[in-house]
Amino acid sequence: MNTIALITGATSGIGLATARTFARNGVHLVLCGRRKERLDALAAELGALVQVHTLSFDVRDAAEVATQIASLPQDFRAIDILVNNAGNAHGLAPIHEGELSDWDAMIDINVKGLLYVSKAVIPQMVERKRGHIINIGSLAGQEVYPNGNVYCASKFAVDALTKGMRIDLHQYNIKVTSINPGLVETEFSIVRFKGDTERAKNVYRGMTPLTAEDVAEVIWFAASRPAHVNIAELLLLPTAQASSTIVKREG
Ligand code: NDP
Ligand code: 8X3
């Protein structure tokens, strides 16, 4: 096989768009997420273009992450590109009103889950002295906004881990990139507001947010640079957004 990418959170939004973009560019895929029926449908769709293997697991379960990735067939074991994308916000509340279960979810998924997957994938990159880790951070990992507290902390942690990985891994010829988007309309806000689609829609009211495809194109740009070029970090905003709190809205 040629290039193989493992993408977490491939069942929706940025991860799904990245899977489609990579497949169009001939990258073979290991697609991960909890919703198995969506993984199966995506494998059927993209299997016409490239070889696809799916793994259904919750990134919070360290043992399951290790077992699933260790179960990869020989043909899919030499992962060249790891896209650590699985993640979400849970809730948007002042620090004294936040729910412990939301805090646990964000730290366990966005930070510890990213670490568990990385731990299962990186050693073979080190052994082969090649690889590219692309962590999906956020504008929320560059600046804190009102009520964003724990989500922002989780994305600041992703930023620190990206920098730490680059320091530890560049000597093994491994690239480490963070792609940090601002507002992207996906299932993100629906998850954050626990299924309240009206509240979720309001996040993008009167402005044009990024699409998952916009972000996927940038991820592909980073993944397709020549061997000596590493896009270390990239902030990607909708034109209508200047910062987490400064957004131009019409109407
Ligand atoms: P979506 O909600 O559309 O997608 C999230 C993906 O993560 C899904 O595929 C979901 O799969 C997966 N996921 C969530 N929890 C788990 C879990 N416990 N175990 C395994 N997989 C999980 O959101 P986005 O595409 O917007 O989010 C993708 C990444 O982009 C996240 O890291 C997010 O923080 C980041 N981001 C998003 C922005 C936005 O405005 N949308 C802006 C900046 C960054 P499943 O439910 O099937 O497990
Ligand atoms: C997602 C972007 O601004 O909704 O990371 O936190 S934001």
The CB of 39 under 6 Å from ligand 2? The reply is: no
- The whole-number pLDDT of residue 251 equals 85
Residue 170 is classified by DSSP as: G
How many separate domains does the chain show?
1
Q: Tell me, in angstroms, the distance from the centre of ligand 1 to residue 74's CA.
A: 28
In tens digits, the chain (251 residues) has pLDDT values of 699 999 999 999 999 999 999 999 999 999 999 999 999 999 999 999 999 999 999 999 999 999 999 999 999 999 999 999 999 999 999 999 999 999 999 999 999 999 999 999 999 999 999 999 999 999 999 999 999 999 999 999 999 999 999 999 999 999 999 999 999 999 999 999 999 999 999 999 999 999 999 999 999 999 999 999 999 999 999 999 999 999 999 98
CA of 57 to the centre of ligand 1 (A): 14
| Amino acid identity, position 77 | R
Record the tokens describing residue 31, joined without a space.
């697609």
**Does residue 245 lie in a domain region?**
no
* Strands of the chain, DSSP E: 4-7, 28-33, 52-56, 81-84, 131-136, 174-181, 233-236
Residue 244 near ligand 2, beta carbon < 6 Å: yes
Look at residue 198 and tell me if it is in a domain. Answer: yes
Domain membership of residue 248 (yes or no) is no
Ligand 1: residues with CB < 6 A are 8-15, 33-35, 58-60, 85-88, 109, 136, 138, 181, 183-184, 186-188, 191, 212
Q: Report if residue 205 sits inside a domain.
A: yes
Full domain range(s) for residue 193: 4-236
Whether the CB-CB separation of 90 and 67 falls below 8 Å is answered with no
CA distance 134 to 83: 5
Please give the distance, rounded to the nearest whole angstrom, from the Cα atom of residue 158 to the centre of ligand 1.
14
Backbone torsions φ then ψ of 31, nearest 5 degrees: -105, 130
Asked if 24 and 5 count as a contact pair (C-beta separation under 8 A), the reply is no
Alpha helices in 36-187 (DSSP H): 36-46, 62-70, 100-106, 114-128, 149-169
What CA–CA distance (Å, rounded) separates 244 from 146?
9
Distance 13 CA to ligand 1 centre (A): 7
Neighbouring residues of 152: CB distance < 8 A, sequence distance ≥ 6: 140, 141, 143, 144, 145
* pLDDT score at 1: 60
Amino acid occupying residue 71? S
**Other CB atoms within 10 A of residue 100 CB:** 7
> Within a domain: residue 28?
yes
Q: How far apart are CA 72 and CA 29, in angstroms?
A: 12
Closest-approaching ligand to the CA atom of 89:
1
In a domain, 246, yes or no: no
Sheet of 4-7: strands edge to edge? 52-56, 28-33, 4-7, 81-84, 131-136, 174-181, 233-236
Within a domain: 242: no
Q: What is the CATH number of the domain that holds 112?
A: 3.40.50.720
Residue 251 lies inside a defined structural domain of this protein: no
Rounded CA separation 62/116 (Å): 6
What is the distance between the alpha carbons of residues 101 and 60, in angstroms, rounded to a whole number? 13
How far is residue 15's CA from residue 113's CA, in Å, rounded to a whole number?
15
Cβ–ligand 2 contact at 139 (below 6 Å): yes
CA-nearest residue for atom 41, ligand 1, is 184
CA 28/CA 19 separation, integer angstroms: 9
Indicate the Cα dihedral angle 177, 89, 214, 26, nearest 10°: 60
Mutate to test the pocket of ligand 2, among 139, 193, 203 (most ligand atoms within 8 A of CB): 139
**Closest Cα to atom 4 of ligand 2:** 183
